[in-house]
Amino acid sequence: MHPVFLQLGPIQIRYYGLMYVVAFVVGYFLVRALARRRGILRGAEDVLDLLLVTIPFGIVFGRLYYVFFHWDWYRAAPWEIFMVWLGGLAIHGGLIGGALGLLIVARWKRIPFWRLADVVVPAVALGLVFGRIGNFLNGDAFGTPTTLPWGIVFPSSSPAGATYPGLPLHPAMLYEAIGSLLIFGLLWATRNRPARAGFFSSLFFVSYGVVRFACEFFRGDSLMLGSLRAAQVASVLLVLGFGAWLLAGRLWRQARA
């Protein structure tokens, strides 16, 4: 894997950033199509407003979440906090930031928050697929050593290769990419189902919580809370919280007129 897609003199275009651009473009058209079908955004400008608010919030909070768990490193090199193109965005932090951005847009456009969230989550699931492919090409979000035939030896210049030089590793980021693609398939297959506001959002968060909890067992660079993996703690909270709301609120049923 080579992290650089294109070199223009001193300027590098990296696969990691390129995947986020692809996710943005695909997300724009996907959200636009779903919003039009459900009649909650007036046009292309509203969709662009939505993405231009939620994506920066997601990136900033994803970075802050990651930096928090690596503060000893960034305290010694604070300028690297801004070097997001090298990797280091935590998805759970990104989800928090994206939700805050979504809340701002919902109030701005006067749209019920959960109706808007239900339109956005399929694009989030698909965006996670592209993001994890970017991690693979960048050699981060890597797995633990394995003897399985699909283990991958990463270049020594990558974070994975520097941590486990010469050892085949679980492609943990690709496991999560596959899981996220399945989540997108589930959301897309049920997109026309009449249900209460929040159903698709809950389905996404519960599904992602399960996928991430499972994939984290194979990660070789987990963020830790003491002896616990932070992503697994956050994932359990997602599953319990949104699972309880999904069941107690019977969100799969259509609201009565």
pLDDT, tens only, 113-160: 999 999 999 999 999 999 999 999 999 999 999 999 999 999 998 999
pLDDT at 154: 95
Please, are residues 168 and 220 in contact by the beta-carbon 8 Å criterion? no
**255 vs 56: CA distance, rounded Å:** 33
pLDDT at 255: 58
**116 vs 44: CA distance, rounded Å:** 15
pLDDT at 15: 84
pLDDT at 1: 65
What is the rounded (10 degree) CA torsion for 172, 174, 179, 184? 150
The candidate with the shortest Cα–Cα distance to 200, out of 169, 139, 233, 246, is 246
pLDDT at 256: 53
Q: Which regions of the chain are under pLDDT 70?
A: 1, 254-257
Cβ partners under 8 Å of residue 39, min gap 6: none
pLDDT at 252: 76
The label of the residue with tokens 């979504």 reads: 102
pLDDT at 214: 98
The label of the residue with tokens 């992290």 reads: 3
Alpha helix segments (H runs only) across the chain: 15-38, 44-69, 71-76, 91-109, 113-138, 159-163, 172-189, 199-216, 230-248
Please, are residues 122 and 188 in contact by the beta-carbon 8 Å criterion? yes
Q: Which two tokens stand for residue 223?
A: 């963020």
Q: Which amino acid is at 140?
A: D
Q: What backbone phi and psi angles, to 5 degrees, belong to 157? A: -80, -10
